[in-house]
């Protein structure tokens, strides 16, 4: 449980002079799919912020077959802020579902997050302030920890197709991990530009969707987050790692557990689509040259 994790309070960051305006609204956008194990603790994290800012929560359920919807309804009745549930008949993946929620969000700031994430409020407003002070940032991504306190390598270099295939082999054989897209000195102590950040917790301004567009619905499950990070860079904005706010990610790694299920197959299909879209199958330098032109 999250109570076993000691969150760090960064006093130097909390002294930022720029105060969050009371009329700034934050929209939390979340997907659920058989999330009964995690969803209540996740929503409780958001509830901690209710007294600090104006917020709304929009959840799209991708056809859950467990008690997730009931838990969502119970949670909705117990809060006083806008809480919308969009219930889909089947799993529409991550892009279609998230886009549905984003299009209905009314916040100035959007938090795209997974349903298996928990956090406390230390430094949350400072993170929003930092985003608002830096107009070139498209995605601001926090430090992400596993439940045991280990760091998740949530920010990585742009992948290559070869690396992805080797990683798949490693998953299938459970013999060796390929980590060539890891930053060797991650997590960074200071805010740092990164190629990509997983979409477990993204902090963004609303106008980024007007500039970049919505998630690419040609991708069902993954790598929609890598694709969006590329588009952020191509639009002249940045993806930035922000170490002064921490979240816990109970990552479910569906494709790792069952490499041949529908989700895993759609992941492979999404990878082929992604690499064909940017035409850099084997060369990391090629995608870096592409984004650096902006």
Could you tell me the residue ranges of all domains in the chain? 22-292
**Sign of the alpha-carbon dihedral angle for 122, 127, 128, 132:** positive
Q: What is the DSSP letter of 121?
A: S
Query: Taking Cα atoms as reference points, which of 290, 161, 146 lies closest to residue 229?
Result: 290
Place 13 in a pLDDT band, splitting at 50, 70 and 90.
Answer: very low
CA 138/CA 27 separation, integer angstroms: 16
Helices (H), the chain: 11-14, 39-47, 68-77, 95-104, 124-133, 161-173, 207-212, 224-234, 254-257, 262-278, 284-292
CA 80/CA 77 separation, integer angstroms: 8
pLDDT digit string, tens, across residues 147-181:
999 999 999 999 998 887 776 666 655 555 567 78
**Sign of the alpha-carbon dihedral angle for 168, 187, 49, 111:** negative
Is the pLDDT confidence value at 189 over 90?
yes
54 CB-side CA count, 13 A: 11
CA distances from 232 to 47, 184, 196, 280, 281 (A): 30, 23, 10, 17, 20
- CB neighbourhood size of 84 (10 A): 14
Q: What is the DSSP letter of 260?
A: T
Place 294 in a pLDDT band, splitting at 50, 70 and 90.
Answer: low
Residue 15 · residue 97 · CB < 8 Å: no
Q: What is the DSSP letter of 3?
A: G
CA 242/CA 142 separation, integer angstroms: 5
Place 88 in a pLDDT band, splitting at 50, 70 and 90.
Answer: very high
CA 269/CA 279 separation, integer angstroms: 15
- Is pTM, for the whole model, over 0.85? yes
- Mean pLDDT throughout 85-102? 96
What's the CATH number for 22-292? Answer: 3.90.550.10
Higher pLDDT, 161 or 87: 87
- Mean pLDDT throughout 239-261? 77
- CB neighbourhood size of 61 (10 A): 23
CA 73/CA 256 separation, integer angstroms: 30
- Mean pLDDT throughout 260-271? 78
pLDDT digit string, tens, across residues 197-222:
999 999 999 999 999 999 999 999 88
Per-chain mean pLDDT for the chain: 88
pLDDT digit string, tens, across residues 23-68:
789 999 999 999 999 999 999 999 999 888 899 999 999 999 999 9
């Amino acid at each position: 449980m999250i109570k076993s994790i000691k969150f760090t309070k960064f006093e130097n960051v909390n002294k930022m002079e720029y105060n969050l305006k009371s009329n700034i609204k934050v929209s939390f956008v979340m997907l659920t799919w058989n999330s009964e194990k995690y969803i209540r603790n996740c929503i409780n994290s958001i509830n901690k912020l209710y007294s600090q800012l104006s917020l709304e929560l929009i959840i799209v359920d991708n056809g859950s077959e467990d008690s997730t919807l009931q838990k969502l309804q119970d949670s909705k009745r117990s809060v006083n802020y806008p809480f919308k549930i969009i219930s889909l008949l089947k799993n529409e993946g991550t892009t279609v579902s998230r886009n549905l929620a984003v299009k209905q969000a009314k916040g100035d700031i959007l938090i795209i997050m997974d349903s298996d994430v928990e956090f406390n409020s230390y430094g949350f407003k400072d993170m929003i302030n930092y985003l608002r002070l830096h107009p070139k940032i498209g995605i601001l991504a926090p430090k992400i920890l596993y439940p045991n306190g280990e760091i998740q390598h949530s920010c990585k270099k742009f992948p290559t197709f070869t690396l992805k295939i080797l990683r798949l082999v490693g998953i299938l054989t459970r013999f060796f991990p390929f980590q060539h897209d890891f930053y060797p000195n991650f997590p960074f102590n200071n805010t740092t530009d990164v190629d990509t950040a997983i979409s477990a917790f993204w902090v963004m301004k609303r106008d980024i969707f007007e500039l970049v567009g919505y998630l690419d619905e040609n991708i069902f499950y993954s790598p929609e987050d890598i694709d969006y990070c590329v588009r952020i860079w191509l639009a002249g904005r940045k993806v930035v790692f922000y170490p002064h706010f921490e979240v816990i990610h109970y990552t479910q790694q569906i494709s790792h557990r069952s490499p041949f299920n529908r989700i895993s197959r759609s992941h492979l299909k999404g990878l082929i689509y992604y690499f064909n879209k940017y035409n850099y199958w084997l060369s990391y330098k090629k995608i870096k040259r592409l984004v650096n032109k902006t």
